Structure 1
Amino acid sequence: MSPQQFRDISYNGLWKQNAGLAQLLGLCPILAISTSMVNAVSLGLATILVMALANLAVSALRNFIPYEIRIPVFVLIIAALVTVVDLSFNAYFHDLYLVLGIFIPLIVTNCIVLARVEAYAAKNDPLSSTFDGVMMGLGLVWVLGLLGAIRELLGAGTLFSGIEMIFPSLSAWNVFGEDYPGFLIAILPPGAFFALGCLIAAFNAINTHLAARTHKRPPAAATTTSQTTPAERAEPAEPAPAG
C-alpha cells in the first residue's frame, strides 16, 4: 500500500466519506445508543472490529466467491464475526453487554459494514481492505463519541458515565456538579436528532469553508515570464529594412 493510498483511505474514512455525517449510514444505532459517551464508543469499537475482520475475510476470499451469491456470503461472514464479538462482550464485559443489548447483534444488518465489504473489500487486496475497515470504523467512532458526549453532558451534566463497567477503578466525571438539574430532552430521542443535525450542519459548513478557501487560492506564477537581462531590455530594436 503506497503512502498516497494510505492518506486517501484515512481521509475518506475519517472525514470525506464519514459514515455518520456524509453517508448517513447506520443511523439507528447512532441515534439510539449515543445517550452516553461510553455506550457510544463501545458500540463503535465493536463495529470497528467487525468491519476490519469482515473486510479482511472478504478480500482474501473474493476470487472464490461466485458473483451471483456474493451478498448472502458477505452477510454470512459478517454474522459469524458479530456472533464472536457478541459472545466476547457477554463473557468479558457483561454489564456493558446488558446495556448495549440488541445493538451488538444488529451490527449484522448495519449498512456501514455491508457497504464497505461490497464497495471496497470485494475489489481490493487484504491489507488495504483491512485498513479501510479500520478507518471507516474510526470515522464512526469519533462521531458516536462526540454525539454521546454532547448528549450526556447536556442531559446529565456528566462525562464517561458507565466507565466502571469497563474499568471498575474509574468513575464518571461530574462536570456541572451535583446540583445540575439536567436537560432531559438531550438524552431522549428528539435530542439525538437535534444533536446529530447540528453535527451534520457543522460538518457541511466546514466543508463549504474549505472548498471556498481552495477556490480563492491564487494560481501559481506563470512559467513563461521573460528571462531577458536589463541590458537586453535597454537595447533598442533594430529598424525594419526599407521596402
Structure 2
Amino acid sequence: MTSFREIAINGLWKNNPGLVQLLGLCPLLGVSNSVVNALGMGLATAIVLAASNATVALIRTQVSDAVRLPVFVMIIAALTTCIELLMQAFTYELYQILGIFIPLITTNCIILGRAEAFAAKNTVAAASFDGLMMGTGFGLVLLAIGAVRELLGTGALFANMQLLFGPIAAHWQVTVFHNYPGFLLAILPPGAFLVLGLLIALKNRIDEIVAARAKAAEPAALPAQSRRVRVTGVIE
C-alpha cells in the first residue's frame, strides 16, 4: 500500500503524466493554446480519471484477467460519454472548440495505465485519490502550457472564460501587453512542443538542485551523529 502523501507527490511532481511519463500528449499539445481550453480539457480528464480508478478498484476482485482490459475500456468509455453529454448540455461552445479531443479521453494512455497499474491493485479510496492527483498533475501542466502560449501569442490571459464558467466570467480577461502584435508560433502546434520542452527542462533542473542540496546536507549530519555515539560510549 502506498501512502496518500506519496500518491500526491507522485501525481503532482515525481511521476507527473505530462512531464515525466509523457502520456496523453495528443490533448496536451492539441488544445493547450489558451487557458480556457486547457482548463476545460484538464477538468474533463481529471474527472474521468478519478471516477474510472474508483470504479475499477470497486470491481477489481469480480473481474477475471481474461476480460480485465475490455472491461476497463468500457468503464472509461461510459464515463467519457457522460462528460461529453454534460459538456454538450452546459458548455456547448467549449465542447465544439475541443472537438474530437473529448471523445479521445477514452483512449488516453494515462487513464487506462492508472486503471491497470494502480486501481486494479489498491483500495477504492487510494485509487480515487491516485486518479485525482494524476488528473490534477496533468491538468496543471495543461494549464501552464495554455497560459504561456496564450500570453505569448495574444498578450492576454483568461480570454473567453465565459465558455466554461458562464456569463459571470465574461470580463475576466487580463491584457498584459497592450498593443501587442501577437506571436503566431506560440499558438500553433510547434509552440506547444517548445513550451512543453521548456517545462520538462525546468522540472529536471529543479530536481537536480534539490538532489544536490540534499547530498550537500548529508556530510554535515554524519559528524554530529558520530560525536553522539562517542560521547555515549564514554559515559557507558
Task: Give yes or no for the alignment of 1:219 onto 2:217.
Answer: no
1:12-91 equivalences under 5 Å are: 12-91=10-89
Matching residue within 111, 121, 124 for 2:122: 124
Aligned equivalents of 1:215, 1:115: Cα separation in 2? 33
Per-residue deviation, 1:226:
2.6
Q: Please, what TM-score do these two structures have when normalized by structure 1?
A: 0.90
Residue 103 of structure 1 is matched in structure 2 by: 101
Per-residue deviation, 1:167:
2.6
Q: Which moved more, 1:211-220 or 1:62-71?
A: 211-220
CA RMSD in angstroms comes to: 1.3
Per-residue deviation, 1:34:
0.3
Offset from partner CA, 1:44-101 (integer Å, 9 cap, x none): 0001110111001000000011112211110000000000000000001111111111
Structure index of larger Rg: 1
Residue 233 of structure 1 is matched in structure 2 by: none
Offset from partner CA, 1:95-154 (integer Å, 9 cap, x none): 111111111100000001001000100000000100000000000111110110000000
Amino acid at match of 2:116: E
Identity of aligned residues (%): 50
Aligned equivalents of 2:12, 2:166: Cα separation in 1? 27
Structure with the largest fraction of helix: 2
Q: Name the SS for the 2:17 alignment partner.
A: coil
Query: Which stretches of structure 1, 4 residues or longer, exceed 3 Å deviation after superposition?
Result: none
Q: Which runs of 5+ in 2 are unaligned?
A: none
Aligned equivalents of 1:204, 1:81: Cα separation in 2? 34
Amino acid at match of 2:103: P
Q: Please, what TM-score do these two structures have when normalized by structure 2?
A: 0.92
Q: Name the SS for the 2:61 alignment partner.
A: helix
Amino acid at match of 2:168: S
